[in-house]
Amino acid sequence: MEARSRFEVTARDPGCQARAGVLHTRRGPVETPVFMPVGTAGTVKALDPAEVEALGYRLILGNTYHLMLRPGADTVRAHGGLHGFMAWPHAVLTDSGGFQVWSLAHRRKILEEGVRFRSHIDGDLHLLTPERAVELQEALGADIMMALDECAPHDAAPRYLDQSLARTTRWAERCLRARSPAGGALFGIAQGALDVPRRLRHLAELAAMPFEGLALGGLSVGEGPDRMDAVLAEVVPAMPAERPRYLMGVGTPLDLLRGVGHGLDMFDCVLPTRNARNGSLFTWQGPIQIRNARHARDTGPVDASCACPTCRRFSRSYLRHLFLADEMLGLRLNTLHNLHFMAELMRRVREAIRLGRYPAWAAETLAALGAPPLRPLDPPGNKK
């Protein structure tokens, strides 16, 4: 059987844990470190898939929970999976739906069998088991699937956390048994809240299983960036070096540069596209809010150093007008700009790693963005 995926590290920075590589999926290679735009309901909001492709993206994320409820996995399967459904020719990663179900605290109940929950759309009762999560993701045609897990709160009590981690491990084993020979790669998700010893123990349990990659879940859920960074500094170096390392749901430039410095390879977040729809735009001098009055007569682009389609053609004044007039074009142009920024940020990240100057480059970039500096990064080989 052909490999579901293959990962190779092509460069390591001598000054920290940062590394560049290539994730070979069944729909082509993806350079890492990589940021994945989120296409929750089978679309990266406001953009044609061809525009996402033109920005350089070769891996996007789809959401199992939302797609299972509407339009339904069978409908997507009838199109040949998400690729045919949304006309996207490149790789797709799908989450298991576990995080969305976890966030519906008043609508769900966690059982050993799985998670029973009521749809936020029509109130219908559903049961999401590890086996069902894999079945749904295979119906969606995912190239990379995620195991069903429980995202425990960052302030969970130790006893509850132990029970949750043990159940997530059992669910991980069931996901592996459930996948078909034709299914995509499967990643396990290590949990543990902010408890580093428990995270390390859970990571070791999952690392012993034949997952193609491993992810860290349950971070950036209210604990604050500095506490998350402290956990990453301890945990990421212990992740298997031969497999891709994925930090789920994290997407600010500061968090990405911190995560890369600790040795992470993959990131996703709705923040760039959501911010764009709210008028918050990235620039290489720090974010701007396009609705502000100071942009009303500004005939210059959002960022003079940016080569995105928005900055090449339109002014801040025009974008502000579109936003205040609630014109759909404004949302599209803002989204194009923010996703171009993220793609360019990751391109520069990979280049800095290949040149062996990532810590210095990251410090310079964060200073220009007006973001807090990086904490000291550990050199290669330091696994705490």
Q: Which CATH class is domain 5-269?
A: alpha beta
CB 130 within 8 A of CB 178: yes
Q: The whole model's pTM is what?
A: 0.97
Which of helix, strand or coil describes residue 261? helix
CA nearest neighbour of 10 among 298, 283, 351: 351
In contact, 81 and 136? CB cutoff 8 Å: no
Residue found by looking up tokens 């298997």 in the block: 240
266 beta partners: 34, 246
**Catalytic residue positions?**
95, 268
Q: Alpha-carbon distance 73 to 97, whole Å?
A: 13
* H or E stretch at 265: none
**What pLDDT, on the 0 to 100 scale, is given for residue 105?**
66
Q: In the beta sheet, which residues pair with residue 19?
A: 12
Q: Which pLDDT belongs to residue 224?
A: 87
Burial (CB count within 10 angstroms: exposed 0-12, middle 13-18, buried 19+), residue 205: middle
CA proximity to 275, closest of 64, 46, 16, 7: 46
Do β-strands 288-289 and 59-63 pair in parallel, antiparallel, or remain unpaired? unpaired
* Side chain identity, residue 200: L
Q: How many CB atoms lie within 10 A of CB 226?
A: 10
Before 71, cis peptide (omega within 30)?
yes
pLDDT, one tens digit for every residue, the chain (384 residues): 568 999 999 999 999 999 999 999 999 999 999 999 999 999 999 999 999 999 999 999 999 999 999 999 999 999 999 999 999 999 999 999 877 766 766 778 899 999 998 888 999 999 999 999 999 999 999 999 999 999 988 888 999 999 999 999 999 999 999 999 999 999 999 999 999 999 999 999 999 999 999 999 999 888 888 999 999 999 999 999 999 999 999 999 999 999 999 999 999 999 999 999 999 999 999 999 999 999 999 999 999 999 999 999 999 999 999 999 999 999 999 999 999 999 999 999 999 999 999 999 999 999 999 999 888 888 887 654
Q: CA–CA separation, 343 vs 25, rounded Å?
A: 19
Residue 361, pLDDT score = 98
- DSSP string computed for 17-53: S-EEEEEEETTEEEEESEEE-EETTSS-TTS-HHHHH
